[in-house]
Amino acid sequence: MESVDMKSPCVKCSKGCGITTCNGCQQAYCIDHFNQHRQELAIEVESLDQKHDLFRNNLDRKFTEHPVLLQINQWQQDAVNTIQMIAETARTLLRKLLDQTKNEIEKSIKNLADELRSSRECDDYTEIDIKKWTGQLRMLRKTIESPPTILITENETLVMPLISVHNQASTFATENFANHTATVENSTHPSERFDQIVGKAITSEECRVITCNTWFVSYPTIYGSGRYSSGTHRLDYQIEKIGNSPIFFGITSSLESVRDNDENATSIHGWWDLTRTVVNGEVQKGDDQQFITTGDEVTLTIDCDDRQIQLQHHQTRRQVELKIDIECCPLPWTTVIKLGSKGDCIRILE
């Protein structure tokens, strides 16, 4: 019996002749539709290449427009403005001192000239007068040749705090590129530092101290360096200075990108002072009583296993707790602090 060569029909037009199979999708095509299929694949590859170029451009822009770089630029501009203002004030004061000295000399010259003219017109002078006028003229010439001694007094107190940049990559979450799963190294005693800053605030002492350097226009938001996904972590803070506005202590999901305006950041949870709770980024009803004052110490406890956070105020022995919905605030978590007044200063205690 003769064998019949069964050919798969073209997936596009059902023709049974001139069939070839695509090694990728394993579909059979006639010659015409195979060429069309290859053209479609070429278009997809070109589109993918364009997406790659777009991603590359976005990546370059992401790093060239890093918020910390913008913060450094703003600090530089503020420093330049402050220095220019101080220099102009010093120049104005110097001109005032020089003008005062010049006016005094001009007045003395005029008095001498008037006296000489009057004496000559009246022919009323002797050797004694000539000697006196010669001495006065010599003193005026010496005063002009030797201007008054004016000194610059340097204020050793810094007008603009110095800044530095620190890499806190050792405590960041690491992402598995192959399956997009995040893993975090757990530590019961993390080396917490102040990290990313949105707004005007300056770190010092190896990022253990944060100071607000803006007036009450917007709250500077400071994110911690730690990433917490399991275990319980106690973070101790000392309030070195606080103004009339409260300070916020809390957490947010480290998976949520830092933004300039975090009012819509639904993963933020915590407290303004101890009285006004923030859940899913929204402030709950509460009174405006302020317990935390300058010199106080507070402890923020992050309990990843029980999905809750606590804030303890040691001076009043008050403590508040807040359960966290990980669907709104997925792990890992990172700390969030907001300062409300210029000069507010917080220290991380070791």
What DSSP designation does 171 have? G
Residue with more model confidence, 171 or 219? 219
Tell me if 161 is assigned to some domain.
Answer: no
338/308 same-domain check: yes
Tell me if 318 is assigned to some domain.
Answer: yes
* Count of domains for the chain: 3
Question: How many whole angstroms separate alpha carbon 236 and alpha carbon 242?
Answer: 16
Weakest mean pLDDT among 98-112, 181-195, 212-226, 233-247: 181-195
- At 62-84, the pLDDT tens digits run 666 667 777 788 878 877 887 88
Domain boundary among 46, 64, 82: 64
Per-residue pLDDT at 185: 37
3-state DSSP percent of the chain in helix, strand and coil, to 5: 30, 25, 45
CATH of the domain at 223: 2.60.120.920
Q: Above 60 in pLDDT, residue 9?
A: yes
Q: Above 50 in pLDDT, residue 227?
A: yes
265/186 same-domain check: yes
193/250 same-domain check: yes
Per-residue pLDDT at 172: 36
Q: What tokens were used for 84?
A: 């220019």
Model-level pTM? 0.48
First to last CA, the chain: 90
Question: How many whole angstroms separate alpha carbon 225 and alpha carbon 222?
Answer: 10
| Model confidence band, residue 176 (pLDDT cutoffs 50, 70, 90) | very low
| 56 backbone dihedrals φ, ψ, rounded to 5° | -65, -45
Per-residue pLDDT at 6: 61
Tell me if 337 is assigned to some domain.
Answer: yes
Residue with more model confidence, 126 or 286? 126
What's the chain's average pLDDT? 80
- At 187-218, the pLDDT tens digits run 434 579 999 888 889 998 888 999 998 755 56
Domain boundary among 100, 130, 145: 145
267/322 same-domain check: yes
Tell me if 106 is assigned to some domain.
Answer: yes
183/238 same-domain check: yes
Q: Above 60 in pLDDT, residue 248?
A: yes
Our CA angle for 80, 85, 91, nearest 5°, is 125
Residue with more model confidence, 334 or 23? 334
Crossing angle (nearest 10°) for helices 67-122 and 127-145:
170
126/33 same-domain check: no
56/75 same-domain check: no
Tell me if 164 is assigned to some domain.
Answer: no
In DSSP terms, 303 is beta-bridged to 232, 308
Tell me if 4 is assigned to some domain.
Answer: no
Question: How many whole angstroms separate alpha carbon 148 and alpha carbon 103?
Answer: 13
57/29 same-domain check: yes
The torsion defined by the Cα of 168, 172, 178 and 181, in degrees rounded to 10, comes to -170
Range of the domain at 45: 19-64
189/122 same-domain check: no
Read out DSSP for 196-254? Answer: EEESSEEEETTTTEEEE-S-BTB--EEEES--B-SSEEEEEEEEEE--SS--EEEEEET
Categorise residue 175: left if φ over 0, alpha if ψ from -120 to 50, beta otherwise: beta
Contacts of 37 (CB under 8 A, 6+ apart): 22, 27, 29
Per-residue pLDDT at 224: 92
Question: How many whole angstroms separate alpha carbon 274 and alpha carbon 250?
Answer: 11
Question: How many whole angstroms separate alpha carbon 208 and alpha carbon 295?
Answer: 16
What radius of gyration, in Å, describes the C-alpha atoms of the chain? Answer: 38
Task: Summarize the confidence of residues 143-148 as an average pLDDT.
Answer: 73
- At 88-100, the pLDDT tens digits run 888 888 888 888 8
327/180 same-domain check: yes
Per-residue pLDDT at 194: 93
In DSSP terms, 254 is beta-bridged to none
251/288 same-domain check: yes
Share of the chain above pLDDT 70, in %: 80
What DSSP designation does 187 have? -
58/72 same-domain check: no
Question: How many whole angstroms separate alpha carbon 206 and alpha carbon 215?
Answer: 24
Task: Summarize the confidence of residues 125-148 as an average pLDDT.
Answer: 83
Tell me if 133 is assigned to some domain.
Answer: yes
Tell me if 82 is assigned to some domain.
Answer: yes
Residue with more model confidence, 323 or 51? 323
Share of the chain above pLDDT 90, in %: 24
Question: How many whole angstroms separate alpha carbon 118 and alpha carbon 169?
Answer: 86
Domain boundary among 145, 177, 211: 145
